[in-house]
């Protein structure tokens, strides 16, 4: 997979440099990195969302760790639930056009995201609802209710990843 992707990248790069060489005489334009509408480059956007998603994974692990512990640290559990909501803030804006696999930046996000925008948006809003309700339930300290909310949230993570992320 990686080798194939690299060779495509090399081919694209070679093609682009040829084109660049041809057009240089006519229009002295420098082909800098693509800037998205939000002002970030594709690389910056992809790296930002990967960093945020990792923080979300970390928060989820922290919750699971407490649920598995003999005497769960409820404060830590609540902090992690709040962190999940905080770190996922703005997730709807993390996948602008141009940040898919054809951006040339290493990403596991599949092109299917931009092919099914309505379904993808729905999955994000499912996650938003689930993580919101988890953050609402957590301060109550009811472990059973928190566990249920965690399962719903975790399933929303998975259902999206199964369709829109490269297999691990």
Partner 1 sequence: MTTGQARVLVWDWTVRLFHWLTVLLVASMWWTAEEGMMDWHRRIGMILVGLISYRIVWGLIGPPTARFARMVPTPQAALAYLGDLRAGRHKVSLGHNPVGVLSVFAMLLALTVQVSTGLFSVDVDGIESGPLSRHVSFETGRLFAEIHETSFNILLALIVLHVLAIATYLVFFKDNLVRPMVTGRRASTDFDASVADNRAGLIRVVIALAAAFAAMSAIWFAGG
Apex 137 CA angle, 131 and 140, nearest 5: 150
User: What residue has token string 């056009």?
Assistant: 97
Residue 161 touching partner 1 (CB under 8 A):
yes
Nearer to partner 1, 4 or 30 (CB): 4
Residue 168 touching partner 1 (CB under 8 A):
yes
Residue 61 touching partner 1 (CB under 8 A):
yes
Provide the mask over 62-81, with x wherever binding to partner 1 is found by CB under 8 A and - wherever it is not.
xxxx--xxx-----------
Cα(63)–Cα(18) distance, rounded to whole angstroms? 52
Element (DSSP H or E) covering residue 6: helix 2-24
**Phi, psi for 85 (deg, rounded to 5):** -65, -45
Residue 54 touching partner 1 (CB under 8 A):
yes
For residue 45, the SS3 value is: helix
Residue 106 touching partner 1 (CB under 8 A):
no
Residues that bind partner 1 (CB under 8 A): 53-54, 56-65, 68-70, 154, 157-158, 161-162, 168
């Amino acid at each position: 997979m990686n080798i194939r992707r690299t060779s495509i990248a090399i081919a694209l790069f070679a093609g682009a440099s040829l084109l660049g060489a041809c057009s240089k005489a006519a229009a002295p334009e420098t082909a800098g990195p693509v800037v998205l509408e939000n002002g970030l480059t594709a690389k910056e956007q992809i790296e930002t969302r990967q960093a945020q998603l990792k923080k979300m994974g970390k928060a989820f692990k922290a919750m699971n760790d407490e649920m598995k512990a003999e005497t769960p640290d409820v404060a830590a559990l609540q902090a992690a639930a709040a962190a999940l909501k905080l770190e996922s803030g703005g997730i709807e804006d993390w996948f602008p056009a141009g940040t898919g696999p054809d951006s040339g930046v290493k990403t596991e996000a599949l092109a299917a995201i931009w092919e099914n925008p309505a379904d993808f948006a729905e999955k994000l809003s499912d996650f938003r609802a689930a993580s919101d309700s988890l953050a609402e339930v957590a301060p109550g300290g009811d472990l059973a209710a928190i566990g249920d909310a965690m399962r719903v949230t975790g399933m929303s993570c998975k259902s999206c990843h199964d369709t829109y992320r490269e297999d691990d």
